[in-house]
Amino acid sequence: MKRQPSPITHHPSTGGRLTDRLLNVRKRRALGWAALAYAGVVLAGALVGADITLRSKTRWVKGVFVPVGRRGNEVYLPAGSETLSRGPIGIVPLLPNKGHAVLGERQVVGTLVRRPVQEERGLLPNGALAWASTFVYNGTPAQLGVEFEDTAVSTPLGDMPAWHIPPSGDAPGRADAIVIVIHGHGGQRPQALRMLPALRRTGAASLFVTFRNAHGAPRSETGYLTLGDQEAEDVISALHWAQGAGYRRAVLYGFSMGGNIALSALRERHQPYPIPVTGVMLDCPALDWRATILSQGQRFGLPPFLARHVATFTQWVVTRRSGQDFDTVDQIRAAPNFNLPILMWHGTRDRTIPIAQADALAAARPDLIEYHRVEGGKHIRVWNINPKAYDAQLETFIGKVLPEVEG
């Protein structure tokens, strides 16, 4: 009699529990690794963001290097972000000589951009390698044929380099007035030279200043920017310089972070001023640094939820490193305290400082602020969209806040 094989007994519940446990372990490990990777991305983004926020500076005015093709009064350039931009651009040949030209509005010709020569100093030869930029100038006021004085503003940290452009005589009744021009975060004084002809037509003098931790300026103890807070003290020192030079009235003119510096100088602790400040001009001002840091993450393609986390942690790192109080440089929050006329421009294509900040400030103080919302304007390049309109608005505003006086 043959033995019958024993029936095989299956225990599906035991095998299922083991498989479930393995899957759960794998899921937990995967989630753990994913969380660790996410935290690493947030940490790396925050550290980079904090370093840019606190230390950014450069000695070069932004532009591109391009070969120049020239036929008569027309220049042909390769198509690119700068050469395709709306409005005038500047061009400076590197070889064989150094000149400067202002080129007019673009016209695309195949793969090239054609622009007419509007102004030229020196020579812009065919075949030259040249710097081209929407900032138009990269040197000193001498690039415009304007006489100026290299000077320095004395501060507790040391001497801040500055350019002094004396009154032009076009409006003798403003020879006692001066416009303090303040560059932005990581910026340079030449970026505002586009506006110098209009400033000179007002008859007022100009003082193009630098501030602590900017390129060429003295370093603070930490070397960190304070986003407008302590830099305002350097503007107050510039007003002391102006007083010593015989000026009796001033207007502040700030670009990007320079706008925040100008508004920070309006705080009560800085008053009374060495000389009266009668108005403020703001070009694409940084008014809310929390919103600015968040927008930078979004600008570089981070998903909204990741950008928010990186921005929050960036602010925490900045505060831990430097003691930065973001409330002190929130100018939208400070708007009820402003008591001077303000002229403000901002461009709808500004990807550095969200235009919503300017919209909010203008809505908060329509009684004080003349706001020009420039369609198509990029960051601190709204002048390029319509130079004549911008210059006219600037000159009219200065005429209001710095009326001509006898003697």
Least confident span in 162-176, 306-320, 328-342: 306-320
In the block, tokens 């009684």 appear at 367
- Position 52 scores a pLDDT of 87
Cβ neighbour number for residue 132 with a 10 Å cutoff: 25
- Position 59 scores a pLDDT of 85
Tens of pLDDT along 87-114? 999 999 986 567 899 999 999 999 999 9
64-133 CATH choice from 3.40.50.1100, 3.40.630.30, 2.70.98.10, 2.40.10.170: 2.40.10.170
Please compute the mean of the pLDDT values over residues 26-31 and round it to a whole number: 69
- Position 228 scores a pLDDT of 96
| Averaged pLDDT of the chain | 91
- Position 362 scores a pLDDT of 98
Q: What are the φ/ψ torsions at residue 117 (nearest 5 degrees)? A: -80, 120
Cβ neighbour number for residue 143 with a 10 Å cutoff: 21
Cβ neighbour number for residue 395 with a 10 Å cutoff: 15
- C-alpha span between 99 and 395 (Å, rounded): 29
Q: Which residues have a Cβ under 8 Å from the Cβ of 407 and sit 6 or more positions away?
A: none
Find out if CATH 3.40.50.2000 is the number for domain 141-288+330-401.
Answer: no
Residue type (1 letter), 255: F
Please compute the mean of the pLDDT values over residues 75-93 and round it to a whole number: 95
CB 287 within 8 A of CB 332: yes
Tens of pLDDT along 331-341? 999 999 999 99
- C-alpha span between 165 and 144 (Å, rounded): 12
Tens of pLDDT along 177-224? 999 999 999 999 999 999 999 999 999 999 999 999 999 999 999 999
Give the model's confidence band at 119: pLDDT under 50 very low, under 70 low, under 90 confident, else very high.
very high
What's the token pair of residue 241?
Answer: 């310089």
Sign of CA dihedral 112, 113, 118, 124: negative
- C-alpha span between 16 and 22 (Å, rounded): 10
Chain-centroid distance, C-alpha 200: 23
Domains 64-133 and 141-288+330-401 are alike in CATH topology: no
What's the token pair of residue 5?
Answer: 């094989």
- Position 133 scores a pLDDT of 97
Please compute the mean of the pLDDT values over residues 300-325 and round it to a whole number: 85
- C-alpha span between 375 and 55 (Å, rounded): 31
Half-sphere exposure of 359 (CA within 13 A, CB side): 8
Burial readout 290-313 (b: 16 or more C-beta within 10 A, e: otherwise): ebbbbbbbbeeebeeebbebbbeb
- Position 387 scores a pLDDT of 98
Give the model's confidence band at 116: pLDDT under 50 very low, under 70 low, under 90 confident, else very high.
very high
User: Is 399's pLDDT higher than 90?
Assistant: yes
Give the model's confidence band at 12: pLDDT under 50 very low, under 70 low, under 90 confident, else very high.
low
Give the model's confidence band at 11: pLDDT under 50 very low, under 70 low, under 90 confident, else very high.
low
What's the token pair of residue 292?
Answer: 């600015």
Domain ranges of the chain: 64-133, 141-288+330-401
- HEC states along the chain? CCCCCCCCCCCHHHHHHHHHHHHHHHHHHHHHHHHHHHHHHHHHHHHHHHHHHHHCCCCCCCCEEEECEEECCEEEEECCCCCCCCCCEEEEEEECCCCEEEECCCEEECCEEEEEEEEEECCCCCCCEEEEECCCCCCCHHHHCCCCEEEEEEECCEEEEEEEECCCCCCHHHCCEEEEEECCCCCCHHHHHHHHHHHHHCCCEEEEECCCCCCCCCCCCCCCCCCCCCHHHHHHHHHHHHHHCCCCEEEEEEECHHHHHHHHCCCHHHCCCCCCEEEEEEECCCCCHHHHHHHHHHHCCCCHHHHHHHHHHHHHHHHHHHCCCHHHHCCCCCHHHCCCCEEEEEECCCCCCCHHHHHHHHHHCCCCEEEEEECCCCCCCHHHHCHHHHHHHHHHHHHHHCCCCCC
Please state, for a pLDDT cut of 70, what percent of the chain lies above it: 89
In the block, tokens 């602590």 appear at 212
